[in-house]
Amino acid sequence: MSTVTVGQENSTAIDIYYEDHGSGKPVVLVHGWPLSGASWEKQVTDLLNAGHRVITYDRRGFGQSSKPSTGYNYDTFAEDLHKLVTKLDLRDFALVGFSMGGGEVARYIGKYGSDRVSKAVFLSAVPPFLLKTADNPQGVDAGAFEGIKAAVAADRPAFLSQFLLDFFNVDVFRGKLVSDQVVQLSWNIAASASPRGTLDCVTAFSSTDFRGDLKRIDVPTLVVHGDADRIVPFAVAGNRMPEFVKDCKLIKLEGAPHGLIWTHASKINPELVHFLG
């Protein structure tokens, strides 16, 4: 199993699990909450076929990575990513973030710059800033996120079942663009995550302000977001990205849900391959 050690908690190393396939120009895929690198299944094949080296990894607390009780904040997530990039000595690589993973893309460039980064992609991503505040009136009320945290704490497996129905807009796409088995697979992955990490990440992705990070992005940037996203609303997130990232390309996918990397892979993947080519 391929891992990079990013820290220590008491007697236990904190290891990040990753997969590194193919050859060519590197692409690092950063997954969403509460899934793992396995969620990139439909993108990995097409990117490999297009001649890319494709690296996926599991955020701490998720998938096959260690599940510590600490470090569930974007400075630490970006540091974990930086340690992986450094271990693999990646240069001229693209960073692609889905949902919560878009925060890593933003914070990584905000913190470490773009010397090694060639391009950035945000898919259904949480930046620029989800939380409604005095200087961010377009955001989502804090009560919505407190409700999510309460539901996770009360009955995480039951919460995940309901969450995934809205993640894929199952009432609209069941049997057409998403199967019950895909929803079950996603539940299995999410249910195996750290309960502490699952909870703490809600605070991280809802309350982290990425506006300053985005202004530091100076590489070609692609933003793709569905206008039927029930998890990260298009109006709050994707639609606002051009305010902060100079000359970014924004694609609004009509009717697409949050989990568009599965449901709308046939539309996203050609755009991704073209942009990264």
Q: Give the model confidence (pLDDT) of 73-99 as tens digits.
A: 999 999 999 999 999 999 999 999 999
Is pLDDT at 1 greater than 90 in this prediction?
no
The parent domain of residue 138 ranges over 3-276
- Quick: pLDDT tens for 112-163: 999 999 999 999 999 999 999 999 999 999 999 999 999 999 999 999 999 9
Q: Is the pLDDT of residue 217 over 90?
A: yes
Query: Rounded to an integer, what distance in angstroms lies between the CA atom of residue 199 and that of residue 76?
Result: 16
Residues 6+ apart with CB under 8 A from 255: 172, 226, 227, 228
Q: What is the pLDDT of residue 173?
A: 98
pLDDT of residue 94: 98
Question: The domain that contains 155 carries what CATH number?
Answer: 3.40.50.1820
pLDDT, residue 57, reads 99
At 167 the pLDDT is 98
Question: Does an H or E element contain 122, and which?
Answer: strand 117-123
Please return the burial class of 261, using the count of CB atoms within 10 Å of its CB with bins 0-12, 13-18 and 19+. buried
Angle made by CA atoms 4, 105, 268, in degrees to the nearest 5 = 110
- Catalytic positions, please? 99, 229, 258
Summary mean pLDDT of the chain: 98
Counting residues of the chain whose pLDDT is more than 70, the rounded percentage is 100
Q: Please give, one letter per residue, the 3-state secondary structure of 11-30.
A: CEEEEEEEEEECCCEEEEEE
Q: What is the pLDDT of residue 157?
A: 98
Q: Could you give the number of structural domains in the chain?
A: 1
